[in-house]
Structure formats: structure tokens, C-alpha cells
Amino acid sequence: MCGIAGWVGQLENPLNTTNKVIDRLKHRGPDFQDSRHFGQVSLIHCRLSIIDTSSSANQPMSNEDDSLWMVFNGEIYNFPQLRQELLAKGHLFKSNSDSEVIIHLYEELGEEFVSRLEGMFAFALYDRKKSQIILARDRFGIKPLFYYHDTSFFAYSSEMGTFKCIPGLDLEIDQQAVSDYISFLYIHAPQTLYNKVRMLMPGECLVFDQNSFKTSSRMFYKHRQAENLILDYESSAEELIHKAQTLLESSVKRQMRSDVALGTLLSGGIDSSLVSVFAQKEYGINPIHTFNAKFPDNEYDETWAALEVSKQIGSMHRTLEVSLSGGTWENITGILNHIGQPFADTSIFAVNEIMTLIKKHVTVALAGDGGDECFGGYAHFERIPNVIKFIDQPMWLRNLELKGLKAASKLNNKLYPLYRGMKNFTYVDEVGALEAFYTWNRQKEKRELWVGDKNIQETRRFFEDNWRATAHIPEKLERFQMACTLSDMDVLMQPFLFKVDTASMMHSIEVRVPFLDEKISKFGLSLPYNRKVNRENKFLLRAIARNQLPEKVANKPKGGFSIPVDVWANDDFKALAREQLLKPDSNLSYLLNKSIYKEWVDAFVENRQTPGISREGLYQRFIMLLSLSLYIDK
């Protein structure tokens, strides 16, 4: 795991810029930093040594005749097999690293080489003979990669903040990206906060030509390609359970390869618990390191489950007590500013807390991310049948049911969340229903909130391709659940992976995600609804868990890995944040309706609820506003 950057173009003081970029990225690679310069072409690498920790694996790395140079971030899990193939064809290696395989594979296959790589990766390869730079990002987007492009300058980096280190870049705000951020609480690739900075999509390969100064791009992998969208109605539950376990065990095994200390993030959930079980089996008789974070708010704490699993597998477990004193202005804004663009998934604070503990003991950690996306773990999967039944009714009947539910909720406030949830599906079609599952601020609410550029596209566009891709599935339940799985692997997975990469690399930690293996994701897409939800969500994984985990853990409901920001943030933070958000010269009011967001700010600071918004919804909105303000008010 590393930090990469580079550019093509004229700079007045390239050495000074190089040093600034290295300073900005060396938390991602504290073990070694270096650069190479070829006229107006620069490559920069900050190394976190994981595989072959010797100096022979340092980067930037070249082939035998120095015609190819590369900077790479990530891990290639099938590199031993690829290396043997390349050795048999006469390629010479000077290290035992996985990185070097990429260069020789490109020599052998040309631009098609990237489809042979299995792992998590983001890299830049400079072909000096062709005067081209090739950028690529892994199939799931586990590793981030951004690039800037105008008529005279091209640059790329692992982090958005790097572009602030390069003088002369045009960093104009993209209002479309900000509008989408209001809905999702993050900026969906390929957009970024800035018009001329893009984020490579998962599974994308981009070629920059130095002579024409133009780019061309292709997708070497898409989850929604037709061969992935074939449902398996033939296999029995027992066969599928066995296959799921075999795939997960295999993925954990090959992601255990490391030349430095390794452990697992054992939050107490089913996914991280299964990863920890199989990792301990692979580790052998020595106990593996496992870690979890203990929150002072019992609603968010699953320490009991982590301890149960640790006791069963015999791991060396450590629990981090998350202090209520950690929610300071310096800590919260330090994390938000480090990200490089607005981001409001508040679980990044929890991930950051546990990474401070992990760094003292390991450099590599396996996590359970991806299990929910592949196996139907989210709450919206259980709601799909009722949502379909509701939206299949004529509009007059939907309205009638909603009015009845509204009246009932006034008599029994426990029904209000159900009323509020169904209200989002009253005036929508299937694509609109998908959109309602994944957006924090609905279109009606956002239209009232948004006062910026009126030529803004709605977030519906992010779901239309997933619905079209499933048109071959005749049964609406199966089509809808497949479209949900595709949306989980896109709209939900993007911020989760970005959050984990950002928080872990702030502390020079490499996090691996065994569930995000191409074979596992294809398997997950092939599962019919009753193999994901069958009287309970995540049917297959729970079946595996009942054979591998303590009964109480296997049967417990899904919990979130988050932090209760409303009680974690201290009074000084709340006061300073209110001042930041409501100051008269804030640029927020040029984009958002101040009378609406002022009520959110006041409610959060004064520890009270606001009508129609849940506790979590309120503090998510507050952080959404603060993170945006920190960037547009600079």
C-alpha cells in the first residue's frame, strides 16, 4: 500500500513541487519516498513496504531497458502465478514484489494486461517509447486514483489534497458534484469537487497521450456486464452454502500473504467474524491479532460479540475504548480536511479511532467490508417485496394507504418511521424506488434546500443503468433485487471503500477486503432473492456463521460500525461548527437555503430532534454541511 502521484507539463520549480507532494502523501508510504523526472514527465512514489521489504522493490520501478516506469499502490493477489508465466517467457525480475509483475505483464500483453490482474490496485505506468501514461484502478475501486486534465497539464494522485500542492491548477467548484453530495453524503466517481479533476471509475483504464495531450478510456470490468447477471435457480441451499464458504476461505487465504505483521478488524459483525475465523485457521497455531472499537453508547457497541468470537478462535484481541473526549474541533476538522473534498459518512471517525490502535501492532489488517453488498445484508433487501407490492398499485390506492398510515401514526408513534419510509415511495416508479433506498436527502427535500445552479441533473441517473441492465429478468422481485445488488456494489460501496482507505492510510495501515473478490461478487450477483433473504437477511452467510461462530453472534441482527457524533462531539466543537456554518459571509448560502439548514444546525447544537429527521439523519446532515463548508469557504 502506497501513495502515488505524477504529472506531465511545465512547472516553474518542479523540485519544490515534488517535495510538497511527497510531504502530502508520505503518511501513505512512510518507508521510502522517491521520484523520477523525464523532461516534463514526473513520477512520485511513497512506499509502505508489505511484499518484499528490500530496497530492490522500491519505486518508481522500471523494466530492464528503462523504457517503462511505474508507480503502484495496492496488492496483486495472483502475482505468484503471473510471475511464473512471465519467467517462463524469458522476463527478468530484479525483486520479489508483486509490483514488478505489472510492468512485465504490460510488456507481454499491451493494454489488455490489466484484465489479468487480481487484487486491489491503482497505478500509473509511463511508456516512454509511446509517450503515454496508463492509469488503472481495480474492479471494485478499493484503491483511489484521481487525475487533473486541462489543455496544457495532466496530473494524477492517490489523494485529492495533492492537487493543492501543484501551482497553477484550475480548481473551480463543480456544482453538479456538490448537488449529488447533498443526496449521497459523498461525491460519486467520476466526479470530484472540482470540474477538471476526475476520479477513475472502478474497473477503468485510462491512457494519456503526451503528444496529443488527450485521454482515452475504457472499462476493463463492469459488475453489470451481461455474463454476471444470470441467476442460479438450480443449485440447492446446501450447495450454495458450501460454495460461499469455499470462495471466502480461498480469498482470505490468498490475502494473508504479507512480509509484515498482519491482523483482522473484528468488529463483532458476522462478516468480520467469518474473515477472522478463516484467517486464524490459515494463520495456524499462533494467535492472530484481532481488534475492535468499544463505543460508550450501547446502541453502537458490539464489543461483546467481538470478545465471544475472539475467545472461540483463540486470537490475541485488543479493544479500543473510544473516548467521548475525542470529538474535538481539531480532531474532526482535521479528518475532514485531510480527505481532500466534502465527505460526510461519519463512520470514518470510528475507523480512524481503531486505526490508531492497530498501528501499534500490525501493518496489514483484513476487514469484513463487502459481505453486505454481495449477500443481501442491508435492511432495504428485506423491504423489497413490500416496496414492489406498494408501487405496483395505482396512485390513488397508494395515496389512500399513505393517508391511513399517517392517521395511524398519530395514534401510535411507533408507526411513524413506517409512514415516513413509505412516503418516499408514493410517487415513484421502479428507478425512483431504487433511488429512495440510497439517498439521504430526497428529491423534494433537496429541491427546497438547493439554491445553486438550476441546470442540475437529478440523482436518478445513477440508477437507470442498473435497472436497464436487469431488463432480461422477467420476475419483478428478482429484477429489483439484482438492481439493488448492483447499486450496493456502486453507490454504497464507493464511500465505504474510500472511507476505509482514507482513514487507514492516514495511519500507514493497509486494509484488505476478502469479500471483494471477483469470484465472490459474481457469485453474489447470481443469487436469487430467497438465497439472500429467507426469513432473515444474509441467508447464506448466516448459515455458514452458525457452523463457525458462537450462536448468539451468528443470530444477532446487523449493527452499524459508526460513532454517535451527537454525544461524541464536545461543546466547543459544536459552538465552533455553528459559527463556521452560520457566519454571514459563508458560501454555503449561495448553494443551500439557509433557513432550512439553520434549523438542522441549531437542532444538532442544542441536542434536540427536528421533525421528520432521525437522530443519525440529523448528525449526518450536520457533518455534511460542515465538510462542505470547510472546502467552499477556504
Within 10 angstroms of residue 341's Cβ, the number of other Cβ atoms is 25
Q: With CA atoms as reference, report the closest residue to 266 among 299, 293, 290, 287.
A: 290
Taking CA atoms, 165 is separated from 21, 335, 377, 628, in Å, by 6, 18, 41, 20
Segment 140-149, tens digit of pLDDT: 999 999 999 9
pLDDT of residue 315: 96
pLDDT of residue 96: 92
Q: Is 110 left (phi over 0), alpha (psi -120 to 50) or beta?
A: left
Rounded to 5 degrees, φ, ψ at 586 are -70, 135
| Separation CA 72–CA 136 (nearest Å) | 10
Flag whether pLDDT at 456 surpasses 70. yes
Flag whether pLDDT at 301 surpasses 90. no
Segment 401-421, tens digit of pLDDT: 889 988 888 888 778 778 877
List 121's β-bridge partners, or say none.
74
Segment 488-528, tens digit of pLDDT: 999 999 999 999 999 999 999 999 999 999 999 999 999 99
pLDDT confidence bin for 331, thresholds 50/70/90? very high
pLDDT confidence bin for 297, thresholds 50/70/90? low
Please tell me the least confidently modeled range out of 24-28, 117-121, 565-569: 565-569
Flag whether pLDDT at 207 surpasses 90. yes
pLDDT confidence bin for 325, thresholds 50/70/90? confident
Flag whether pLDDT at 300 surpasses 70. no
Q: Give residue for cell 394507504.
A: 401
Flag whether pLDDT at 323 surpasses 80. no
Q: Hey, is 415 helix, strand or coil? A: helix
Cell reading at 409: 401514526
Could you tell me whether strands 262-265 and 146-149 are parallel, antiparallel, or unpaired per DSSP bridges?
A: unpaired
- Strands, E, within 509-630: which ranges? 510-512
pLDDT of residue 557: 82
pLDDT of residue 422: 84
| Separation CA 407–CA 253 (nearest Å) | 55
pLDDT of residue 228: 81
The pLDDT of 588-605, averaged and rounded, is 95
pLDDT confidence bin for 299, thresholds 50/70/90? low
pLDDT confidence bin for 293, thresholds 50/70/90? confident
Q: pTM for the complete prediction?
A: 0.95
Segment 357-387, tens digit of pLDDT: 899 999 999 999 999 999 999 999 999 999 9
Q: With CA atoms as reference, report the closest residue to 138 among 278, 1, 339, 246.
A: 1
Flag whether pLDDT at 634 surpasses 80. no
Eight-state DSSP code of residue 12: S
The residue type found at 488 is D
Flag whether pLDDT at 1 surpasses 80. no
